[in-house]
Amino acid sequence: MIYLKTFSTMGSSATLFDSSAPFGAICHDSGGANQIIALLQYMGQVPAFAHMDGPAKNLWKQSFPGFTETCSDFSWLKHVSSVITGTSWASHLEHEARVQAQLLGIHSIAVLDHWANYQERFIRNGKEVLPDEIWVTDYYAENIARRLFLDTPIVLQPDCYGEREAALVTPLTEATPQVLLYLMEPIGTDWGRGEPGEFQAFRFFLERLPFLGFPPNTEIHLRPHPSDAPGKYDAFLNNCEHFPVYRGVGSLSDGLSQCRGVAGCQTYAMTLALRVGRKVFGTLPPWAPSCVLPHKGIIHLRETTPV
């Protein structure tokens, strides 16, 4: 039996866990964790069990202080009626949880937090295991998911995380610092050039920077991805002599509040920057695949001509 009920909110159907039936939450990467945490807080729901690893672990502790994490295996699954998971790209944690949930007949919900690699998120070792239900948080993702997963229910939920973060960003004014915020993210490929893609994209951005029309006093603030190892960019930044780059600190909303523009490859945070009225630049170089973000308003540097 599926212990779920539905109510109407924000112009869409939002699924709410029945408080009388225990459910669990499983996350690894920050993207899925942020969306799931925000949705649960919006719905006023707390899972009976939480299985967190990677960047999601600290996010969960910050959001649900005092919450006791379960053991590292999936033995607790037999105590829940449903489970909500992220869809991390590199980690196997959530995929294995969905496999076990399927074997136990437990209803599983997977949250898609981006717009790329949808099918691959549900495949490990050549075997596809789909959830019983997929949640998305905007109509771009909904359209993509409906085309790819014809037999899986797709539920459009409110983008609680994006709305919450956008509300924390200070509106753009004349007093906003002359800062460009660069959002790093692991690319996972070197495009055949022997250097991680994120470094190539950042180098391409620095090459195009003089042609973007920003004043000479513009500062570049680099914000590492939550999954980046400490010091990952230190050696690279030490060689940025012509363009001083400062390491961003504080929350994402703080970074967006203190900048006039944002640059990055194809991270979710770029869509949040669009929402709060910042100019957004896509930095994937010409030899890389096209940006997967379907959102209008991104200025792709590979399509611009230096003047």
Tell me what pLDDT residue 62 has.
Answer: 92
Element (H, E) at 136: strand 133-136
Tell me what pLDDT residue 97 has.
Answer: 95
- By DSSP bridging, strand 12-17 and strand 4-9 are antiparallel
Of the CA atoms within 13 Å of residue 106, those in its CB half-sphere come to: 27
Neighbours of 103 (CB within 10 A): 11
Tell me what pLDDT residue 213 has.
Answer: 87
Report the alpha-carbon distance of residue 120 to residue 80 in Å, rounded: 27
> Is residue 206 classed as helix, strand or coil in its secondary structure?
helix
Tell me what pLDDT residue 251 has.
Answer: 87
The amino acid that residue 44 corresponds to is G
* φ, ψ for residue 84, nearest 5 deg: -115, 135
pTM for the whole structure = 0.83
The yes/no answer on whether domain 169-303 falls in CATH 3.40.50.720 is no
Please check whether the two domains, 4-165 and 169-303, share a CATH topology.
yes
Instruction: Name the residue among 84, 86, 139, 89 with its Cα closest to residue 109.
Output: 84
- Per CATH, the number for 4-165 is 3.40.50.2000
Report the alpha-carbon distance of residue 22 to residue 285 in Å, rounded: 47
Q: Where are the domains of the chain?
A: 4-165, 169-303
Report the alpha-carbon distance of residue 77 to residue 91 in Å, rounded: 19
Q: 30-43 vs 160-168: helix axis angle to the nearest 10? A: 90
Residues of the chain with pLDDT under 50: 1-14
Element (H, E) at 303: none
Q: Are 248 and 226 in contact (CB under 8 A)?
A: no
The tens digit of pLDDT for each residue in 278-299 reads: 999 999 999 999 999 999 999 9
